[in-house]
Chain A
Amino acid sequence: MIELKNVTKIVRSGVEDLTILDDVSFTIPDGEFVAVTGASGSGKSTLLGLIAGLDAPSSGAILIDGENVTEMNEDDLATLRSTKIGFVFQSFHLIPSLTAFENVLIPMEILGLKEAKSRAKTLLEQVDLTNRGHHYPTELSGGEQQRIAIARAFANSPKILLADEPTGNLDSKNGSHIFDLMTELHKQNNVTLVLVTHDQNLAETAQRQIILKDGRVLSDNLNRRDAETQSFS
């Protein structure tokens, strides 16, 4: 479970302080698919980064499975990311010096998994890139790179998948393929999926949508289909 309690993030911009997130609080239960939307500069990516422990909030607390992320040191955060969180970026962020296969392998090697290689092969199969494993990122298309990034994100079977505009750099066909892949893996593995997107259509497929505006939560609603599902259950 992800809990945000009065999270504020202020950065220094020139001589002025700029509030990126302002007193944000919400909770995401395990296995939920949440879309975070909002205009550019509303604080979506910062929010995702704070949940992953990639940055620290100026105030407030973020708890993952009851553990306060904001109190962790760099090494603890690294362990947290390695064991519980997968991340997919808009611009893929594959390591250019490694092949596709090795990029998938890396998180498992960091954790010291014994069956890393066979699992990496399975993951490549799942994203339908078995034949492209020996290629370097520069030799892959944008869609292929993002599929490798997704395989990498799922490598350590994280409980949480954070995706920052994963289809933003892709054409609609590839974007749709990537989205389907993520949601499928989310369902298969029952992971919590937090998706930052501009695309309202994608956001509506989520169970819940949080809209940010100027760093504050403008709305936090269950999507209609899920609301109906919930009301019948």
Chain B
Amino acid sequence: MNFILNLTFREIRSSWRRLLFFFLCIAIGVGSVVALRSLIQNLSQAVGGDARALLTADFEISSTNDFSPIEVQKIEDVLGKSTIIEARNEAITTSQMARPVDAANESLSFVELKGVEPPFPLVGNFTLTGGKPFDFSLLENGGAVVSPLLLDDLKIKVGDKIKIAEGTFEVRATFDEEPGGTRGFRLGPRVFIEKKSFDSVGITTGAGRIRRQILYRTSESPVEIVKQLRTSLKDTILRVQSYRDTEENFNEQFTRTENYLSLTGLLILVLGGIGVWNVARVFVEQKRKSVAVLKCLGANGTKIITVYLLQILTLGLFGSFFGVFLAQCFLWFARTQFNDALPTSMKYSINFSVAWQGILLGVLISLIFSALPLLQVRNIKPRLLLHDATGEKTRKLDTTKTIIGAVSLIGLLVLAVWQAGSLLVGAFFLVGLGVTSVFLYLAAVVLTIILRKFRGFSSFAITQAINSLYRPGNQTRIILLAVGLGAFVVLAVQSLQSNLVREFDFTRNQTLPSLFIIDIQKSQIEEVRKMLEEKTGEPAQTLPTIRARIAFVNGEPIDLTNRETRQQQGQIGREFAVTYRLNLDKNEEVVAGTWWNEISEVPEVSVEEDMARRLKLKIGDSMTFDIVGRKITTRVASIRKIDLRNTRTVFIFVFAPNVLENAPQTFAANVIKKLPETERQRLQRNLVDRFPNIQIFDVADIVAAVQKLVNNFVLAISFVGSFVILSGILILVGSIALTKSQRIYENAVLKTLGAKRLTLASILLAEYGLLGILAGIIGASFATALSFGVSKYVFDIEWEFDLGLTLLGVLVTAILVMVVGALASFDVLFRKPLATLRSQ
């Protein structure tokens, strides 16, 4: 044992520089896993940790309609018996257009309006700019507390007045932190007003998309009372949600995100593992003589393997510790860079459990990836000290090697399953990684074979560079695999981004309107049409919209007591904007049933195909809609596919004529003509000044918001992709260091034969330039294939080959590899040849 420990210590002391890359590979991999997992856990704690604050209550009852007296009675029946209700309040939210009262100021902004009543908030913090707590008197008598963003949008200051619908409000304060925080995608800044102002300014009359909430604070867990409410309200459209539901949903979402991010971290760690495997392989090769000497001196194979295994584990352990440190550095960096975008209450420290998991992963990956190369120690025979044998015969079927290989593979699967939190996802990850690696490796083999054919046709430097790629013990394929994989991830993401952004580029999409106007009352429609025609010179396209809700499917109500259905409640339980028309739209296609060409006696409806799938609908089924309290039963006549690319409006349900003509309806209008920004803004302002109840969507703003989302998404993936590239570069540098002695020897011989430094430098640059080009070609080809597949089959968007991006990707990869390769090997050029030749 003494021998093992002493030799381990001595080996680490003398070989640590050579194994530095091993250490770094593990550190980067563990750092990625720990950083990504910690980031998402901290975010989860900050966002979802206090679910009560997020809901601003212990439970809420919400609806998109007014609460009917029967519904109120049902609620009272349940809550009247309860002793746990401490406080209650009501709130209304909707979106509206806001504009300054000052006529000279032509600004206009979409706002998310929330009407509240005291006591507010029931749970959570409401902090005004400057740190003062919110006081309800700020909202009384026409006051408004707004997001600071609104001041910028409307070019106003605190104390100025704004108009929302028919009402005028004085901006009395701005806030830093609002109860419930900023959740989800918002069209405009938040504005708080008094709830009773909603009716007084005419917001609640006729407008859609209004959400009414009754919120409750309880002295004990609301789980039981929520269950009772759900049972009592099961025949209504009311939604009952407790903070425990929010908590569950958040936890599920964050756990899923955390697991996927951990898999990304594991991918980087596996790349680090490839680096480890490479270092261990060459390390054993370099240690052959030492191993033979040790065997000659009486040490057996097991003892020697134990020494090197201990060495690897020690380095893996320290590398993992360093990785945890790197992860903490990353979190500090994230705090300085993304503080504005992340919640203020977010912590930037590493959880103990994440740290030890990372360290365990690092040590296990070190072990798994170095086990097979270390087994080679068994095959080193001491006789090589007598005859300088270059290789030992290995048995055709090495049982130990096969067993260790199988155990390593199972170990890797266990790690993947552990990180993914699912056997299926873990196995899919491993198989996916294996298949990708095999394809990348095969591509590397094919390209290097092709390259070899060019040896005779090129300059001395290039011929030598090509020869270098084939030198014994070369790392060419490993470098191509690792760097190619990094280039593949980054280029695939970039290519997808350019296709997605192109898809949302409304200047290219001639069918998208520039303005979309909704909530036009029947009495206003003619005047709106006239005004639009005057301003744009084109006839306005208008269409009726009716707000409807699904009441029954085939006579059965949708069961919202079931959690799965409740989770889909947002999609199926909401209020839909429906229309009626005789013709099929240009962007629509009937995939089942037939479109009505004449009016049927039975009321008919056409359903969008995703919704039909969700509701398990087929042709001939009956659907009953609730339209302002009136139940209308229809027959499903057709199922439509809507081409979202060329769409102006998406109607999930389209009714046949002669059903809804007399129902309460509003109109929507499109402005197709592409207007310059100033004209667009002026037209919007004129329309809102004349018809304060209407809402106008500037499509350019929506497209910009979506593009921002896509860009953030791409930034996040590119960030992770850059870790993959970093691992690839690390493997590259490690491989260069491992073959350095051969390079030094070759250079010494070439110098002796009269080669100048310039020639040697050219060979060096050509070698890494070629490697980089090959890695770039491999990465770009696979990225193009993946981008095509994902665009076509996942996003269902048009795909275009981006030649510029592909060429740039190959060029940048080539330059990166060339620069890193040259920097890591440049000292080789300055060595005196005699000493090198003598030492051989």
Q: B287: nearest residue on chain A (CB-CB)?
A: A97
Bound-state CA distance A105–B2 (Å) is 12
Bound-state CA distance A102–B8 (Å) is 12
Asked if residues A95 and B294 are in contact (CB atoms below 8 Å), the reply is yes
Asked if residues A110 and B290 are in contact (CB atoms below 8 Å), the reply is no
Asked if residues B298 and A83 are in contact (CB atoms below 8 Å), the reply is yes
A185 beta carbon closer than 8 Å to chain B:
no
Set of chain A residues within 8 Å of B385, measured between Cβ atoms:
54, 89, 93
Set of chain B residues within 8 Å of A154, measured between Cβ atoms:
none
- Among A44-96, those with CB < 8 Å from B are 45-46, 48-49, 52, 54-55, 74-75, 78-83, 87, 89, 93-96
Asked if residues A110 and B10 are in contact (CB atoms below 8 Å), the reply is no
Asked if residues A152 and B290 are in contact (CB atoms below 8 Å), the reply is no
B14 beta carbon closer than 8 Å to chain A:
yes
Asked if residues B298 and A54 are in contact (CB atoms below 8 Å), the reply is no
Q: B15: nearest residue on chain A (CB-CB)?
A: A97
Asked if residues B15 and A82 are in contact (CB atoms below 8 Å), the reply is no
Asked if residues A97 and B290 are in contact (CB atoms below 8 Å), the reply is yes
Minimum CB–CB distance for B700 against chain A, Å? 67
Minimum CB–CB distance for A162 against chain B, Å? 10
Set of chain A residues within 8 Å of B381, measured between Cβ atoms:
54-55
Bound-state CA distance A80–B297 (Å) is 9
Of B299-307, B341-349, B416-424, which stretch is located at the interface?
A: B299-307
Q: Please classify how large the interface on chain A is, using the bins under 10, 10 to 19, 20 to 34, 35 or more.
A: 35 or more
Asked if residues B386 and A79 are in contact (CB atoms below 8 Å), the reply is no
Asked if residues A52 and B299 are in contact (CB atoms below 8 Å), the reply is no
Minimum CB–CB distance for B20 against chain A, Å? 15
B529 beta carbon closer than 8 Å to chain A:
no
Say which residue of A46, A48, A78, A96 sits within 8 Å of B295 (CB atoms): A78
With A54-B383, A93-B385, A110-B303 in contact, do A152 and B14 touch (Cβ < 8 Å)? no
Asked if residues B3 and A45 are in contact (CB atoms below 8 Å), the reply is no
Bound-state CA distance A95–B15 (Å) is 12
B387 beta carbon closer than 8 Å to chain A:
yes
B7 beta carbon closer than 8 Å to chain A:
yes
Bound-state CA distance A87–B294 (Å) is 12
Bound-state CA distance A111–B299 (Å) is 8
Set of chain B residues within 8 Å of A82, measured between Cβ atoms:
297-299
Asked if residues A74 and B301 are in contact (CB atoms below 8 Å), the reply is yes
Asked if residues B10 and A54 are in contact (CB atoms below 8 Å), the reply is no
Minimum CB–CB distance for B388 against chain A, Å? 9
A112 beta carbon closer than 8 Å to chain B:
yes
Set of chain A residues within 8 Å of B399, measured between Cβ atoms:
none
B337 beta carbon closer than 8 Å to chain A:
no
Asked if residues B10 and A97 are in contact (CB atoms below 8 Å), the reply is yes
Identify whether the interface residues of A are mostly helix, strand, loop, or mixed. helix
Set of chain B residues within 8 Å of A94, measured between Cβ atoms:
293
Number of A-B contacts (CB under 8 A): 85
Say which residue of A48, A95, A102 sits within 8 Å of B386 (CB atoms): A48
With A54-B381, A97-B15 in contact, do A110 and B298 touch (Cβ < 8 Å)? yes
Per-residue A-contact encoding for B377-393, CB less than 8 Å = 1, 0 else: 00001110111000000
With A78-B298, A109-B3 in contact, do A164 and B386 touch (Cβ < 8 Å)? yes
B335 beta carbon closer than 8 Å to chain A:
no
B68 beta carbon closer than 8 Å to chain A:
no
Set of chain B residues within 8 Å of A97, measured between Cβ atoms:
10-11, 13-15, 290
Q: Please classify how large the interface on chain B is, using the bins under 10, 10 to 19, 20 to 34, 35 or more.
A: 20 to 34
Say which residue of A54, A79, A102 sits within 8 Å of B382 (CB atoms): A54
Asked if residues A110 and B3 are in contact (CB atoms below 8 Å), the reply is yes
Minimum CB–CB distance for B246 against chain A, Å? 60
With A48-B386, A89-B385, A112-B3 in contact, do A152 and B296 touch (Cβ < 8 Å)? no
Interface centre among A48, A96, A102, A106 (most CB of B within 10 A): A106
Minimum CB–CB distance for A141 against chain B, Å? 13
Interface centre among B14, B295, B381, B385 (most CB of A within 10 A): B385
B289 beta carbon closer than 8 Å to chain A:
yes
B662 beta carbon closer than 8 Å to chain A:
no
Asked if residues A152 and B297 are in contact (CB atoms below 8 Å), the reply is yes
Minimum CB–CB distance for A36 against chain B, Å? 13
Bound-state CA distance A46–B10 (Å) is 32
Per-residue A-contact encoding for B12-50, CB less than 8 Å = 1, 0 else: 011100000000000000000000000000000000000
Bound-state CA distance A52–B298 (Å) is 10
Minimum CB–CB distance for B623 against chain A, Å? 80
Q: A79: nearest residue on chain B (CB-CB)?
A: B298
Bound-state CA distance A55–B386 (Å) is 10
A1 beta carbon closer than 8 Å to chain B:
no
Asked if residues A81 and B296 are in contact (CB atoms below 8 Å), the reply is yes
Set of chain B residues within 8 Å of A54, measured between Cβ atoms:
296, 381-383, 385-386
With A98-B14, A110-B297, A152-B297 in contact, do A55 and B290 touch (Cβ < 8 Å)? no
Asked if residues B7 and A87 are in contact (CB atoms below 8 Å), the reply is no
Asked if residues B7 and A109 are in contact (CB atoms below 8 Å), the reply is yes
A107 beta carbon closer than 8 Å to chain B:
yes
Asked if residues B297 and A81 are in contact (CB atoms below 8 Å), the reply is yes
Q: B378: nearest residue on chain A (CB-CB)?
A: A74
B6 beta carbon closer than 8 Å to chain A:
yes
Bound-state CA distance A94–B293 (Å) is 7
Asked if residues B386 and A49 are in contact (CB atoms below 8 Å), the reply is yes
- Among A18-62, those with CB < 8 Å from B are 45-46, 48-49, 52, 54-55
Minimum CB–CB distance for A7 against chain B, Å? 15
Asked if residues A98 and B10 are in contact (CB atoms below 8 Å), the reply is yes
Bound-state CA distance A22–B346 (Å) is 81
Bound-state CA distance A75–B295 (Å) is 9
Asked if residues A93 and B7 are in contact (CB atoms below 8 Å), the reply is no
Asked if residues B300 and A75 are in contact (CB atoms below 8 Å), the reply is yes
Bound-state CA distance A192–B13 (Å) is 37
Bound-state CA distance A82–B6 (Å) is 17
Bound-state CA distance A82–B295 (Å) is 9
Bound-state CA distance A105–B6 (Å) is 10
Set of chain B residues within 8 Å of A46, measured between Cβ atoms:
386-387
Set of chain B residues within 8 Å of A106, measured between Cβ atoms:
3, 7, 294, 297
Q: A99: nearest residue on chain B (CB-CB)?
A: B10
Set of chain B residues within 8 Å of A87, measured between Cβ atoms:
296-297
Bound-state CA distance A80–B293 (Å) is 15
With A54-B383, A55-B383, A164-B386 in contact, do A107 and B298 touch (Cβ < 8 Å)? yes
Minimum CB–CB distance for B724 against chain A, Å? 33
Bound-state CA distance A152–B387 (Å) is 21
Set of chain B residues within 8 Å of A112, measured between Cβ atoms:
2-3
Bound-state CA distance A102–B14 (Å) is 12
Q: B291: nearest residue on chain A (CB-CB)?
A: A95
Minimum CB–CB distance for A121 against chain B, Å? 16
Set of chain B residues within 8 Å of A74, measured between Cβ atoms:
300-301
Set of chain B residues within 8 Å of A52, measured between Cβ atoms:
296, 382
Bound-state CA distance A83–B298 (Å) is 8
Q: A45: nearest residue on chain B (CB-CB)?
A: B386
Set of chain B residues within 8 Å of A107, measured between Cβ atoms:
297-298
Asked if residues B10 and A111 are in contact (CB atoms below 8 Å), the reply is no
Say which residue of A78, A93, A111 sits within 8 Å of B289 (CB atoms): A93
Set of chain A residues within 8 Å of B293, measured between Cβ atoms:
93-95
Asked if residues B295 and A45 are in contact (CB atoms below 8 Å), the reply is no
- Among B266-311, those with CB < 8 Å from A are 289-290, 292-303
Interface centre among B14, B289, B300, B386 (most CB of A within 10 A): B386
Bound-state CA distance A107–B6 (Å) is 12
Q: A54-B382, A156-B298 are in contact. List 8 more A-B contacts (CB 8 A).
A: A78-B295, A96-B14, A97-B11, A97-B13, A110-B3, A110-B298, A112-B2, A112-B3
CB-based closest 9 A-B pairs: A82-B298, A97-B14, A109-B3, A55-B383, A78-B300, A54-B382, A54-B383, A81-B298, A107-B297
Could you show 22 A-B contacts with beta carbons less than 8 Å apart? A45-B386, A48-B386, A54-B383, A54-B385, A55-B383, A74-B300, A74-B301, A78-B299, A78-B300, A79-B298, A81-B297, A87-B297, A94-B293, A97-B10, A97-B11, A97-B14, A102-B10, A106-B3, A106-B294, A111-B298, A136-B14, A156-B298
